[in-house]
Amino acid sequence: MNDIRIAIIGLGYVGLPLAVEFGRKLPVVGFDINLQRINELRSGKDHTLETSPDDLAAAHHLTYTTNIEDLKTCNYFIVTVPTPIDKYKRPDLTPLIKASETVGKALKVGDIVIYESTVYPGATEEECVPVLEKFSGLKYNTDFYCGYSPERINPGDKVHTVTKILKVTSGSTPEVAKKVDDLYKQIIVAGTHLASSIKVAEAAKVIENSQRDINIAFVNELALIFNKLDIDTHEVLKAAGTKWNFLPFSPGLVGGHCIGVDPYYLTHKAQEVGYNPEIILAGRRLNDNMGFYAASRTIKLMIQKGHTIAGSKVLVLGITFKENCPDIRNSRVIDVIAELQDFGCEVEVFDPWADAKEVKHEYGVDLINELSFNHQYAGIVFAVAHNEFRELDLASLKGPNTVIFDIKGVVSKDMVDGRL
């Protein structure tokens, strides 16, 4: 293992922490097509906050580049690019294919390419390998080999970091699988699980988040039912949670780069082979509608308090996809905002974690720089459970007739007009 030289393709939430950990021990080239990102990392900063300046400084063997030529000295290539869905909820493999083209141009005899991006079972060998063969002129499992080791990064989580989460590994031959497993064992202190095949590892990843999505859909549906029964969902879940084997899920918006996306990769493949998935897609439909439901509940409560909806000011607190994290990818808070605007509300959005330029580019929403305590809001929606919002002086922020709707259970029950 002494001759290992690793290339990490894609330096986002997944790739950078991985590159940093490998870079403490082994020569690593971090590659990204975004020159601004490369320059940021070279200056010792990471705007995603997944790594600290001290972490970056400790990765003594890590260098950064946008130049494909710098990859040609490497013999292990780890692809960590995003795998989104398009507007029709279909897998968009464009980043994965482009990354495979890049790797193919640098591939040599004996090299190993490992994919970490979430895909449907079979995608590595059916979609990526032909691209590698085309751009390298080499033959799969004769000249070069592949592995699959799904990412398990949890953005914003400083406890379950990359080295502390057990890693699933796999390879295109038994010998390569062992090499891939041994590679990750050098940094993963939580241990590894060597899957029997690349397809098994791909399937394991895609069902992890599908399972979570379905469980959240269940409690979201409970929230819809209990609202009609005038029962507090959170109190019901607290009571049910006293049973030792009750699973602790909460209602809310389901976004981000994993839970709100990965199930569509599985359903796409299922439909391709002639099976129409029912439970998975039903869960997806329900979760995708929760933002519109939260907005309509807020509007009804405003009407009950005598507000004229058109022109009313509503404050939405939070636009990142989860708490205490700057990641805005696939945030479903935008559904809340859009629905409130469709009703004619004047919506202001405040989020101390989000980058205003990114939010404007991604969603066309202008963030306000600071909160106004002049009691101007007809409604306030707590959309993300940032610590800063838990500590807000709500009595100073709201007016005497302001509607408070709490999506995430941030505010005490006696201070809100409604919550999921």
Taken as a whole, the chain contains a residue count of 420
What is the set of active-site residues? 258
For 285, the token pair is 């439909």
Among 51, 71, 170, residue whose Cα is nearest residue 122: 170
Q: How far is CA 401 from CA 125, 130, 171, 349, in A?
A: 59, 62, 61, 20
Contacts of 409 (CB under 8 A, 6+ apart): 234, 250, 385, 419, 420
Q: Hey, how many other C-beta atoms are within 10 angstroms of the C-beta on 94?
A: 13
For the chain, counts of helices (H) and of strands (E)? 16, 13
User: Where are the alpha helices (H) located in 87-127, listed in sequence order?
Assistant: 94-106, 123
Reduced to 3 states, what is the DSSP secondary structure of residue 122?
coil
Per DSSP, the residues of 153-204 read: --TT-SSS-GGGS-EEE-BSSHHHHHHHHHHHHTT-TT-EEE-SSHHHHHHH
Treating both helix axes as pointing N-terminal to C-terminal, what angle do 279-288 and 262-272 enclose, rounded to 10 degrees? 140
